[in-house]
């Protein structure tokens, strides 16, 4: 009963799967906690996974763990080409690895997941960007210019260590799009097939933290408060996405990324406002909550303006997908199943959406038919 004595509104039926995993958050935690967490898992032969650029940082983190580290795999590539995944699995077998330590961004985490998918090895993840994939059971691999994704709890990292200090060195050109990628996880968590009141709460708080944190992180890269807020928001974003699942936005970005090898975070940044503008007529209540979390009235426009404020690219033509490839891009994306989108998606609608994203047009709610 409410305070007035009238019955409270009935809560909608929903399902929420709480995912297993241990989260450690705090400045300096990557150095202070790593050995204890590996030993807690019983790891004795750890394969470290990092890009060539991140190998030095990873080496510093494990400098005192020589007794636990069996080897390092640095052949990380965006979108996890299937041959890279195969070589990673071979490296794990060759070194007799019993655990994987991922140090880096989404591509690094994705490579660790691809290895875990085949070997069943547990992952400890130390993210250095705001990708959020470290708290999801979603894996992805690319073969023949087509990216395939799936869900399997075996790829969900057992432990994630969030250390804001490790993100201080991220340049603004990476920080902005990476945070926008995380915001995309939050936005889609409001209307994806598994969306529920819990994912909406996580997503709203994630957007608020990301939008405020990333502005400070880009303006003052050494400001740990901005880095903490952005990384906290990325964790919430990944957690919301992990339960809600993916929808129109992620399906488009995965298709384009796999087909044209586009930069992951920048592609999400560019496409997101246009997907929001397209779906706006079908999800007004959700868009109102997204706008409120951003502190704007028009969510689509607010997302596009935030990307611009952060200095992120605004058009796919600026990151490798020009207008001359529009017909092919529409055909590639149309292979996906969009039947669970809140608004019907015709091929004509896809063309309008992609044309706007390719050319960097203004995202106007209800303008795409």
What CATH number does the domain containing 61 carry?
3.40.50.1970
Tell whether 261 and 198 lie within a shared domain. yes
Q: Which regions of the chain are under pLDDT 50?
A: 1-10
Tell whether 193 and 160 lie within a shared domain. no
Q: What is the C-alpha to C-alpha distance for residues 113 and 100, in angstroms, rounded to an integer?
A: 9
Q: Write down the pLDDT at residue 280.
A: 95
Domain assignment present for 262? yes
Assess contact for 199 and 188: CB atoms under 8 A.
no
pLDDT digits (tens, 9 = 90+) for 167-190: 999 999 999 999 999 999 999 999
Q: Write down the pLDDT at residue 4.
A: 40
Q: What is the C-alpha to C-alpha distance for residues 153 and 272, in angstroms, rounded to an integer?
A: 27
Domain assignment present for 232? yes
Q: Write down the pLDDT at residue 9.
A: 42
Cα torsion 201, 202, 208, 212 to 10°: value is: 160
Domain assignment present for 3? no
Last residue of a domain, one of 141, 167, 193: 167
Backbone angles phi, psi at 111, to 5 degrees: -70, -45
Percent helix / strand / coil, the chain, rounded to 5: 55, 10, 35
Tell whether 80 and 203 lie within a shared domain. no
Tell whether 132 and 258 lie within a shared domain. no
Best CA proximity match to 256, nearest among 358, 180, 177: 358
Tell whether 148 and 194 lie within a shared domain. no
For residue 103, give its domain range. Answer: 22-167
Instruction: Identify the DSSP state of 128.
Output: S
Angle at 162 between CA 100 and CA 40, to 5 degrees: 50
Domain assignment present for 351? yes
Task: Report pTM.
Answer: 0.91
Q: Write down the pLDDT at residue 328.
A: 96
Write 55-62 long-range contacts (CB < 8 A, 24+): 57/103, 57/128, 57/166, 58/101, 58/103, 58/104, 61/30, 61/31, 61/34, 61/103, 61/126, 62/34, 62/101
Tell whether 349 and 259 lie within a shared domain. yes
Q: Write down the pLDDT at residue 17.
A: 82
Q: What is the CA radius of gyration of the chain?
A: 20
Q: Write down the pLDDT at residue 2.
A: 37
Assess contact for 345 and 248: CB atoms under 8 A.
yes
String of b and e for 84-110 (b: at least 16 CB within 10 Å)?
Answer: bbeebbebbeebebbbbbbbbbbbbbb
Last residue of a domain, one of 125, 140, 167: 167
Domain assignment present for 369? no
**What sign results for the dihedral spanned by CA atoms 174, 143, 134, 38?**
negative
Angle at 81 between CA 242 and CA 22, to 5 degrees: 30
* DSSP codes, 240-287: HHHHH---HHHHHHHHHHHHH---HHHHHHHHHHHHHHHHGGG-HHHH
Query: What's the CATH number where 180 sits?
Result: 1.20.1090.10
Tell whether 148 and 205 lie within a shared domain. no
Domain assignment present for 65? yes
Tell whether 83 and 195 lie within a shared domain. no
Angle at 164 between CA 166 and CA 78, to 5 degrees: 55
Assess contact for 227 and 213: CB atoms under 8 A.
yes
Q: Write down the pLDDT at residue 11.
A: 58
Q: Write down the pLDDT at residue 12.
A: 72
Backbone angles phi, psi at 17, to 5 degrees: -95, 110
Tell whether 176 and 325 lie within a shared domain. yes
Last residue of a domain, one of 132, 167, 202: 167
Tell whether 126 and 189 lie within a shared domain. no
- CA–centroid distance for 15 within its chain: 22
Q: Write down the pLDDT at residue 166.
A: 96
Domain count, the chain: 2
Tell whether 161 and 214 lie within a shared domain. no
Domain assignment present for 325? yes
| CA dist 369 → 9, 142, 261, 337 (Å) | 35, 31, 28, 18
The two tokens of residue 94 are 């060759």
Domain assignment present for 367? no
List of residues 6+ apart from 64 with CB closer than 8 A: 35
The beta-strand segments (E) located in the chain are: 22-25, 46-49, 69-73, 99-104, 123-127, 138-143, 146-151, 159-162
List of residues 6+ apart from 102 with CB closer than 8 A: 49, 50, 108, 109, 111, 112, 123, 124, 125, 126, 134, 157
Tell whether 123 and 212 lie within a shared domain. no
């Amino acid at each position: 009963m409410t305070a007035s004595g009238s019955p409270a509104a009935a809560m909608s039926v929903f399902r929420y799967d709480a995912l297993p995993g241990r989260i450690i958050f705090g400045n300096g935690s990557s150095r202070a906690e790593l050995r204890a967490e590996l030993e807690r898992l019983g790891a004795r032969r750890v394969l470290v996974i990092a890009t060539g650029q991140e190998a030095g940082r990873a080496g510093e983190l494990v400098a005192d763990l020589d007794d636990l580290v069996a080897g390092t795999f640095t052949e990380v590539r965006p979108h996890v080409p299937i041959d890279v995944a195969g070589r990673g699995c071979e490296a794990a077998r060759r070194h007799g690895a019993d655990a994987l330590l991922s140090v880096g961004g989404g591509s690094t985490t994705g490579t660790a997941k691809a290895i875990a998918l085949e070997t069943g090895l547990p992952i400890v993840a130390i993210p250095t960007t705001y990708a959020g994939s470290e708290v999801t059971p979603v894996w992805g691999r690319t073969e023949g210019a087509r990216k395939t994704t799936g869900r399997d709890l075996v790829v969900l990292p057992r432990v994630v260590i969030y250390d804001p200090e490790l993100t201080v060195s991220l340049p603004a050109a990476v920080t902005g799009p990476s945070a926008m990628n995380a915001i995309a996880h939050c936005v889609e968590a409001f209307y994806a097939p598994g969306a529920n009141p819990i994912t909406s709460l996580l997503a709203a708080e994630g957007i608020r933290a990301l939008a405020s944190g990333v502005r400070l992180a880009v303006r003052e890269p050494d400001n740990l408060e901005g880095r903490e807020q952005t990384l906290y928001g990325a964790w919430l974003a990944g957690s919301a996405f992990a339960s809600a699942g993916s929808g129109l936005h992620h399906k488009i970005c995965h298709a384009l990324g796999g087909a044209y090898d586009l930069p992951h975070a920048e592609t999400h940044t560019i496409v997101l406002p246009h997907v929001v503008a397209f779906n706006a007529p079908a999800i007004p209540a959700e868009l109102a909550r997204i706008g409120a979390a951003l502190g704007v009235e028009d969510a689509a426009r607010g997302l596009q303006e935030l990307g611009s404020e952060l200095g992120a690219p605004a058009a796919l033509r600026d990151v490798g997908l020009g207008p001359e490839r529009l017909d092919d891009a529409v055909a590639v994306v149309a292979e996906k199943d969009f039947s669970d989108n809140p608004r019907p998606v015709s091929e004509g609608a896809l063309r309008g959406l992609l044309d706007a994203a390719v050319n960097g047009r203004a995202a106007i709610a209800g303008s795409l038919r």
